[in-house]
Structure 1
Amino acid sequence: MKTIDWTKDELVAYILLFAANADFKETPEERDFIISKVDKETFQEIHEEFNRDNDYQGLKKITTSLEQHLYDKDDIDLLLEDIKVLFFSDDDFDITEQNMLKSLTRLFKAN
């Protein structure tokens, strides 16, 4: 895939949106958590891009951008902690979210 011209904040917003939509519903608590990590304008711009992408495109963008930003093990660990907090933000860590966390963990640690 070609390069992705995202800032680190845009990457974080996209990853958190991807995770938040694991159960096909994005709660107000999840949205608020994402906005607490990035500014509202970044959130809105990335949300529009996220809505245009399918899962395959989203995963390719995420993996490409992680490589471009040279995320190391510590960066990945922090990102996974943010994803866990996101999943618990609406007090409903369902099986779909649990599976998404496992999948993202495998994906991120494989790179």
Structure 2
Amino acid sequence: METKINIVALSGSSRKKSSTQKALNSLKKFMPNGVEYEIYNGIEKLPHFNRDLDSDKPPVEVQVYRESLSRADGVIICTPEYIKGVPGVLKNALEWLVSSAELYSKPVAVITEFM
């Protein structure tokens, strides 16, 4: 039985036709056999992080996001540099992962695009 590796990719831009989205789409062509590659395209739907909402039943969008990353064996984040940092939408997405630990002990690759 062949073991599949599951990679989830996140774009740090909420624009559907951003260069980071294009880069993640092109990476799919280079994935070897046995690798499932999914681009999570919902970070703009995540509510603003609020510790009060981060309970046993967080918002549905957060549950879907966390479940996607829970299934991942590795994560690729492709993000533009924005005012010498990361875009707010990506920072917000990462904040939703702090208490739930989906990224702990998983390999994460970061591709940064400098503007």
Q: Which has the higher contact order (CA 8 A, sep 6+)?
A: 1
- Structure number with greater Rg is 2
TM interval, shorter chain, is: 0.3 to 0.5
| Structure with a larger share of its residues in helix | 1
TM-score, scaled relative to structure 1: 0.40
Using structure 2 for the length normalisation, give the TM-score: 0.39
